Amino acid sequence: MSVAGAVPRELRLLPFRGSDAVAAGLLTWARLRSGSWRRLFPDVYVSSDLALDHRLWCEAALIYAGRTAGVPSVGRAAARGAVPGVAVSGLSAAFLMGVDLLPLGGRPPELTMPPSRRLRNPDLIVVRSPLAVSDIVTLSRLPVTAPERTAFDLACSLPFVEAVSAVDALLNRRVVTHAAVRDFAKIAAPRPGSRRAVRAVEVADDGAESPMETRLRLCLVAAGLPRPETQVRVVSRDGVFIGRVDLAYRRQRVGLEYEGDHHRTRATFRQDIARINAMQEAGWIIIRATHDDIRNPATLIRQLRRLLAERTP
């Protein structure tokens, strides 16, 4: 019999508790130990046919934590006794909101749960913190920390530059507004990293379209330069729209473009050249920055200081 044929219909698409499936007569413990199933957490299984993406791990983690029952027809009794105050949080919550900030090598799912809960597993990141009812939203059936709580949690837990990058990304994707995050930061209870988080929220910018653009912006400000605007529209001398520049000092008509790997294709390279030439014809100076300029910014900072001084009316 094929693996698909050996899998009961109720269990093919979602994680579930093995004990619930056995109690419901859908499986036996012997079958659960076969190659048709994969054990993710104690008593939590998925079909071996399913691709293990981060969302699936989050679903399995919630079942393991007793927050959800997985397949409703298997665990209705467990669902009635689900543990309150548990939700997907941090980078996992951002991922479920469509903002993938996970490291390339992957990361275990993250859950926030009450401080009284004791749950340890190497394949799970547990944050013990109280969650108000307003701190939790339901996203595709899963309890997830609300966008403003997610943004503030990330700003508290990550190093400053990464924190700003995370908040930038959530703002840019319109997952949350700057006002909502600021308001949440004002009422959030003090905790480790909260002062840094407030500062990260204040300097965040919804115009940043990549973490490296965020890093470039912060690099300029850290060097004492004025904070540049993001995604500035540039028009020709007769008012025709040319394009947007990643970072800009509008008054001096000085712009910066971060050159990532996506600029290396032939078509993109040609389009960038034409766009930058048109901007220069319109009176702008465009500096093209790379990762090396962010890592060793002395030359870039010196060039910018000179240009801003020369072009300031």
Q: Give CA–CA dist 44/21, Å, rounded.
A: 10
Give CATH 3.40.960.10 domain extents, the chain: 211-311
211-311: CATH number? 3.40.960.10
Alpha carbon 91 to its chain's center: 5
- Helix 160-172 to helix 211-222 angle, to the nearest 10 degrees? 130
Give the pLDDT confidence of 190-203 residue by residue, as tens digits: 899 999 999 999 99
C-alpha distances in Å from residue 25, one per residue of 10, 19, 21, 270: 12, 10, 6, 63
Q: Give CA–CA dist 58/70, Å, rounded.
A: 11
Whole-number pLDDT of residue 260: 76
Task: List, in sequence order, the alpha helices (H) in the chain.
Answer: 3-6, 18-23, 29-32, 54-64, 72-80, 90-96, 147-157, 160-172, 178-187, 194-203, 211-222, 266-281, 291-295, 298-311
Whole-number pLDDT of residue 262: 52
- Considering the chain, what percentage of its residues have pLDDT values greater than 90? 79
Report residues of the chain scoring pLDDT below 50: 1-2, 4, 69-73, 75-81
C-alpha distances in Å from residue 160, one per residue of 155, 194, 218: 7, 11, 10
The vertex-287 CA angle with 285 and 289, nearest 5°, equals 170
C-alpha distances in Å from residue 28, one per residue of 45, 69, 70, 108: 13, 19, 18, 29
Whole-number pLDDT of residue 270: 79
Whole-number pLDDT of residue 272: 81
Instruction: Please list the residues that pair with 234 across neighbouring strands.
Output: 243
Overall pTM surpassing 0.85 (yes/no): yes
Whole-number pLDDT of residue 8: 80
Q: Using DSSP, state whether 232 is helix, strand or coil.
A: strand
Whole-number pLDDT of residue 37: 94
The CA-based diameter of the chain, rounded to the nearest angstrom, is 80
Whole-number pLDDT of residue 69: 47
Whole-number pLDDT of residue 81: 42
Give the pLDDT confidence of 19-53 residue by residue, as tens digits: 999 999 999 999 999 889 999 999 999 999 999 99
Instruction: Please list the residues that pair with 244 across neighbouring strands.
Output: 233
